[in-house]
């Protein structure tokens, strides 16, 4: 199933604008009707000329490259066009001026859409929970982990462990080979323990009855 097509906003605005033009060395301001639809800008003498085919041929057509606020004049705008360079004008109301600035922003996003970056950088991903360290694990040629190699086994065995200052650690002395036999019961000792087991059980039972009495 194909995803639904989301309609994009059209950069559109129109109003009367006092347009700056040059005649010889003088700046002349003429009121003209501007109509913008995306990159297409049409400048008419009057708003009614938009619907009159005979007068449309007298209008001027431009291709907008960008538009922005003109700081030299209150409610001023300036538009860079492909055909005539920069056009300058002042708008008659603040609301219309804001509408033109909004249209310029929409057009900017259409011409230069923002680049979407990945939500999480794979290189800065935190180590997995449960791992003892964040050191990356290399793999051998056969696909096995390098931590399983004999060299790393020795390194892990020699790794020091640090404890909190409140924890006391006692070192258990190693047992010599000759003393290992003392750690286990002999067969004779086990036989004597089995023989004495019924007597010990009877004795503990009598003691329990005496305490209840």
User: Which backbone phi and psi does 98 adopt, to 5 degrees?
Assistant: -65, -35
What does the alpha-carbon distance between residue 56 and residue 54 come to, in Å, rounded to a whole number? 6
Residue 130 has pLDDT above 90, yes or no: no
Mean model confidence pLDDT for the chain:
75
Closest-CA residue to 78 (of 100, 48, 98, 102): 100
Name the residue with higher pLDDT: 140 or 29. 29
Residue range 50-101, pLDDT digits in tens:
999 888 888 999 999 999 999 999 999 999 999 989 999 999 999 999 999 9
Q: Are 138 and 146 in contact (CB under 8 A)?
A: yes
**What pLDDT is recorded for position 57?**
85
Residue 209, in any domain of the structure: no
Residue 190, in any domain of the structure: no
Q: Are 68 and 86 in contact (CB under 8 A)?
A: no
Residue 79, in any domain of the structure: yes
**What pLDDT is recorded for position 22?**
75
Q: Are 97 and 77 in contact (CB under 8 A)?
A: yes
Kindly report the CATH number assigned to the domain that includes residue 74. Answer: 2.30.29.30
Residue 5 has pLDDT above 60, yes or no: no
Domain enclosing residue 70, as ranges = 12-111
Percent of the chain at pLDDT exceeding 90: 39
Residue 85, in any domain of the structure: yes
Percent of the chain at pLDDT exceeding 70: 56
- The reported pTM is 0.51
Residue 107, in any domain of the structure: yes
Q: What total of structural domains would you count in the chain?
A: 1
Reported confidence tier of residue 131, pLDDT bands at 50, 70, 90: very low
Residue 170, in any domain of the structure: no
Residue 143, in any domain of the structure: no
Burial 95-120 (b: 16+ CB within 10 A, else e): ebbebbbebbebbeeeeeeeeeeeee
For residues 147-162, average pLDDT? 55
Residue 2 has pLDDT above 70, yes or no: no
User: Which backbone phi and psi does 20 adopt, to 5 degrees?
Assistant: -85, 130
Residue range 10-45, pLDDT digits in tens:
899 999 999 998 777 788 999 999 999 999 999 999
């Amino acid at each position: 199933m194909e995803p639904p097509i989301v309609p994009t906003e059209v950069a559109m605005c129109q109003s009367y604008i006092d347009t700056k033009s040059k005649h010889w060395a003088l700046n002349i301001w003429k009121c003209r009707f501007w109509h913008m639809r995306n990159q297409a800008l049409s400048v008419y003498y009057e708003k009614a000329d938009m619907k009159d085919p005979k007068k449309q041929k007298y209008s001027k057509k431009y291709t907008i490259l960008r538009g922005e606020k003109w700081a030299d004049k209150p409610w001023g705008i300036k538009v860079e066009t492909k055909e005539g360079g920069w056009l300058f004008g002042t708008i008659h109301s603040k609301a219309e001026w804001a509408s033109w600035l909004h249209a310029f922003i929409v057009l900017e996003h259409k011409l230069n859409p923002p680049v979407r970056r990945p939500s999480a950088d794979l290189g800065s991903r935190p180590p997995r929970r449960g791992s003892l360290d964040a050191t990356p694990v290399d793999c051998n040629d056969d696909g096995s982990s390098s931590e399983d190699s004999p060299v790393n086994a020795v390194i892990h065995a020699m790794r020091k462990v640090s404890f909190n200052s409140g924890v006391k650690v006692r070192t258990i002395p190693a047992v010599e080979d000759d003393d290992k036999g003392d750690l286990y019961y002999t067969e004779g000792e086990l036989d004597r323990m089995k023989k004495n087991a019924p007597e010990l059980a009877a004795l503990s039972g009598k003691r329990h009855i005496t305490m209840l009495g």
